[in-house]
A and B are shown apart, each in its own frame.
Chain A
Amino acid sequence: QVQLVESGGGLVKPGGSLRLSCAASGFTFSDYYMSWIRQAPGKGLEWLSYISGRSGYTNSADSVKGRFTISRDNAKNSVYLQMDSLRAEDTAVYYCARGLRPSDYWGQGTLVTVSS
């Protein structure tokens, strides 16, 4: 069955960096776009970035463009989110999801807290 497991979250100081990982299993990973979405505490969902399956084409929301970078390693069935210049407002649960139209499977999320 399809499984997505995020890791790499934690507490980081403002201005710091963090790299999130999402390990996928149960499907042919390279056939699918992958996305990252976040949810601040008590708030709604915010889509962040997506990456295509084979060409590695990416696109990101303006709120994170230039600070967050999505990448993937099809040999390791993993997608990553490199987060730099973190701000307090980046505090959220970060989800990876399979697909773009639609995102049909989601991981359980990993919490990122940006605080001094």
Chain B
Amino acid sequence: DIQMTQSPSSLSASVGERVTITCQASQDISNFLSWYQQKPGKAPKLLIYDASNLGAGVPSRFSGSGSGTDFTFTISSLLPEDIATYYCQQCDSLPTFGGGTKVEIK
């Protein structure tokens, strides 16, 4: 199975600050990587697919980059409504998720 190492596991940032989350795959997954946002008590929501493509209706402050084994997810300017846990997911083979990053407001 492909392992996804996501970091950090949590972070605290100020409103308006740039936030970056990384995800590393245990082997080359090309660009078969998605990012999801999950708010408490809610289902995950797709934000980014194929490493860098924005999901439908997703604000442009969210972005993704990378290929192969190293990937980055960025919120360009953190808003209060972005408080959530974010997960990366590889879908090159049997899908697997990263451990999640809990984003809080400082």
Give A contacts to B, CB under 8 Å: 35, 44-47, 50, 59, 61-62, 95, 100-109
Contact = CB atoms under 8 A, between A and B. Distances in A.
A61 B1 CA distance: 9
Contacts, number: 54
B16 to A, nearest CB: 28
Contact of A102 (B1, B91, B94): B91
Contact of B46 (A45, A102, A107): A102
Interface in B57-89: 87, 89
B71 to A, nearest CB: 14
Q: How large is the interface on B (under 10, 10 to 19, 20 to 34, 35 or more residues)?
A: 20 to 34
B47 to A, nearest CB: 10
A100 B1 CA distance: 16
A106 B45 CA distance: 7
A18 B103 CA distance: 35
Contact of B43 (A35, A50, A59, A109): A109
B45 A47 contact: no
A45 B100 CA distance: 8
A11 to B, nearest CB: 20
Contact of B87 (A44, A107, A109): A44
B43 A102 contact: no
Contacts of B99: 44
12 contacts: A44-B97, A45-B87, A47-B97, A59-B94, A95-B44, A102-B34, A102-B55, A103-B34, A104-B46, A106-B44, A106-B45, A109-B43
